[in-house]
Structure 1
Amino acid sequence: MNMIWNIVFVYLWTVFVIPAEFRKLCPASVQTPIRIKDPDDCTKYHLCVDMREFIVTCPEHYVVNERSLKCVPEGSVFDTCPAEEKWRRDLCLRYPNITLQHPYNCAKYLVCDPAAPKGSMARIEECDFPYLYSPVSGRCKHYSVVQCGQRFQPKSHCEYDKYLCKHAHCPPCFLRHPSCHGLPEGLNPWPGREGTPFFLVCREGRVRYSGQCPDTPTSHQVFDPYRNICVEKHPKDNSD
C-alpha cells in the first residue's frame, strides 16, 4: 500500500491531481494502479489506485496519448488529441469565463471554468429532456422557445447522452424511455413493449405522456396496437 501512495506522490510533482468526486470511470477495486483516458478532455486521464480515483491533468502544452496513456508534448508525433478537443481548449485559453452553444447539438453547451487549471478544455454540459440550450438566455429552455437552426435537435430521452447506459447491467434506453420517432401523432404502443400495458402519446415527434393500461385484481389490460386503446388481456367469455 505504501508503494501505491508513493506513486501518487510522484505524480503530484509533475501534474495536477484532484480526487474524482463526480466522474466514476474506475472499477470498484484494482490490484495495481491503472489509467483511463478522460472521454471528454485529452489533457486528462483518470488514475485508479486501490479504491480511489484521481483526475490527472497534464502539464501545460502536454496531452494524453490514447495508447500509452501518458502525457506527451502537444503537436509531437505522439499527439493523438482530436482537433475538436484542441479547439475546446483554445476556446478557454481565449475566453476563460464563457458559456456558449455546442456547434452541432442543440441540447448541449460548452462551459469554460475560470477556476479550472490553465489549459483545461471547455466542459460539455447537456440539458435535461425535453429542454434545449438557448444562446439568447444562456440557459436550458423548453424546446418550443429555442431556435436550433442547423444544429441537431434531440427529440427523445435516448438522443440525450445522459440517459444512455453507463454500465453493462443497465436496461436499454428504449425500454426505460420511449421514443416517438416515426410514429403518428396521438396514442401509440410503446416501441419495444408491444403486447404489454405500456403506451405513449406523441406530439410534434416527442413523447408528451407515457403510461400503462389498468392492471387490477379483476382487470388485466394491454394496449391494442391496432385500435390504440386498452383492452382485456384475456377477454371474458360471457356466453352461457
Structure 2
Amino acid sequence: MESFLVFALVALILVSAVQSELCEITAGSSIKWSRHPDDCSTAYMCLLGKVVSYTCPEGYVVSSDDVSCIPAGSQFDDCTELERIILHDVEITPLNIASSCKEGNKLQDEANCAMYSECVALPDGNTTMVSQECKYPFLFNVKSGKCEHFKDVKCDPGQIVPKSPCDYKAFQCSSAQCIPCNIRFPTCTGLPDGLNPWVGREWTPDYVTCEEERVILQDQCKSEKEPQVFHPNEKTCVVYDVKKIVG
C-alpha cells in the first residue's frame, strides 16, 4: 500500500456531556472508531467518551483495517463489507483532516535560538506550520512562547545563539544588487560592553554601543562647530585631525 495516500486522522473533542452509542459499544476495546453506516468516506471515532468525525478527500474511502484513507474501488476497498453501527442522538462535529496544527501554537527551532515555527491559518481554512524569526536582538523563549530580550532567554545546549545583526536571516541579502550585510550593519562580536568603533569604519563618525556582544545602538559623532570622528582607542568622539588618522 506504499502508493496509497494515507492521511493522519486527528480528533477534535466535542463539548458534549452525552456519551454516544459508539463509545458504549467500544468501551472494552482499544480501537474506538467506526465507518459511517451509509458513507464509506466518513468515519466516527470515540475519544475520551466523545464522538468526533472525519471525512476522506474525494475519491477515497475509510479502510476498515486501519484508520486511514484508501483509494475508492481499489483491492483494499471493502466498503460493501462494512459493519453497520446505528448511531442516534449523538452530537457530531465534522473534522477537517487537512488541519495539522492549532492556530497560534509555536514550537522552538532546535538549531537556532532566534527561530521558531508558528501555526498559521491558510485561506482555505486549513493550518500549517511556518518558520519565523525573532527581531534582532531578541531570542525565542520556549517557556513563554514569545520572542524576548536575549538576557531573559536561556537557549538549549547545541543551539546556535545569534549575536550579530548579520546572524539573523532578516538582514541577509536576497538579491545580487543587495549591499552585503556586514557593510550595512555593525557588529559587536568579540568586542567589550560599552562604546566601540564600527569595525570597518574606524576613524569615521560611526560608532556602536555593545552589550554582551550585541549591537544595542549605532550612532555618529556630531558637532555644530568642527567635524568629529570616533577614536578607536580612546573610544570617544574627537575633533577630526588628519595627522592623528594618518600618522
If the TM-score is normalised by the length of the shorter chain, which range does it land in? 0.5 to 0.7
Q: Which amino acid aligns with 1:172?
A: P
In the alignment, which residue of structure 2 is the partner of 1:193?
201
Query: Residue deviations 1:132-179, cap 9 Å, x none?
Result: 111222121111111112211111211110011222232222232211
In the alignment, which residue of structure 1 is the partner of 2:232?
225
CA 148–117 in structure 1, closer or farther in 2 if over 3 Å, else same = farther
Unmatched tracts of structure 2, length 5 or more: 1-97
Q: Which one of 92, 102, 110 corresponds to residue 109 of structure 2?
A: 102
Structure 1 SS opposite 2:217: strand
| Separation of aligned partners in 2, 1:225 and 1:118 | 56
CA 230–159 in structure 1, closer or farther in 2 if over 3 Å, else same = same
Q: Which one of 115, 128, 149 corresponds to residue 135 of structure 2?
A: 128
TM-score normalized by the length of structure 1? 0.53
TM alignment of 1:47-86, pairs within 5 A? none
| Separation of aligned partners in 2, 1:235 and 1:123 | 53
In the alignment, which residue of structure 1 is the partner of 2:119?
112
In the alignment, which residue of structure 1 is the partner of 2:163?
155
State the Cα distance separating 1:215 from its structure 2 match.
4.3
Q: Which amino acid aligns with 1:133?
A: F
State the Cα distance separating 1:222 from its structure 2 match.
0.9
Asked if the contact 1:180–1:202 (Cα under 8 Å) also holds between the matched residues in 2, the reply is yes
Q: Which amino acid aligns with 2:166?
A: C
| Separation of aligned partners in 1, 2:236 and 2:121 | 55
Query: Residue deviations 1:116-136, cap 9 Å, x none?
Result: 679986311001011111122
State the Cα distance separating 1:105 from its structure 2 match.
0.7
| Separation of aligned partners in 1, 2:127 and 2:171 | 26
Structure 2 SS opposite 1:174: helix
Percent identity over the alignment? 39
State the Cα distance separating 1:234 from its structure 2 match.
2.8
Structure 1 SS opposite 2:227: strand
Unmatched tracts of structure 1, length 5 or more: 1-91
Asked if the contact 1:220–1:234 (Cα under 8 Å) also holds between the matched residues in 2, the reply is no
TM-score normalized by the length of structure 2? 0.52
| Separation of aligned partners in 2, 1:200 and 1:155 | 14
Structure showing greater radius of gyration is 2
| Separation of aligned partners in 1, 2:123 and 2:144 | 24
| Separation of aligned partners in 2, 1:142 and 1:104 | 19
State the Cα distance separating 1:219 from its structure 2 match.
0.7
Asked if the contact 1:175–1:193 (Cα under 8 Å) also holds between the matched residues in 2, the reply is no
Q: Which amino acid aligns with 1:170?
A: C
CA 111–219 in structure 1, closer or farther in 2 if over 3 Å, else same = same
In the alignment, which residue of structure 2 is the partner of 1:43?
none
* Matching of residue 164 in structure 1 with residue 164 in structure 2: no
Q: Which one of 121, 142, 145 corresponds to residue 152 of structure 2?
A: 145
Tell me the matched-pair count.
144
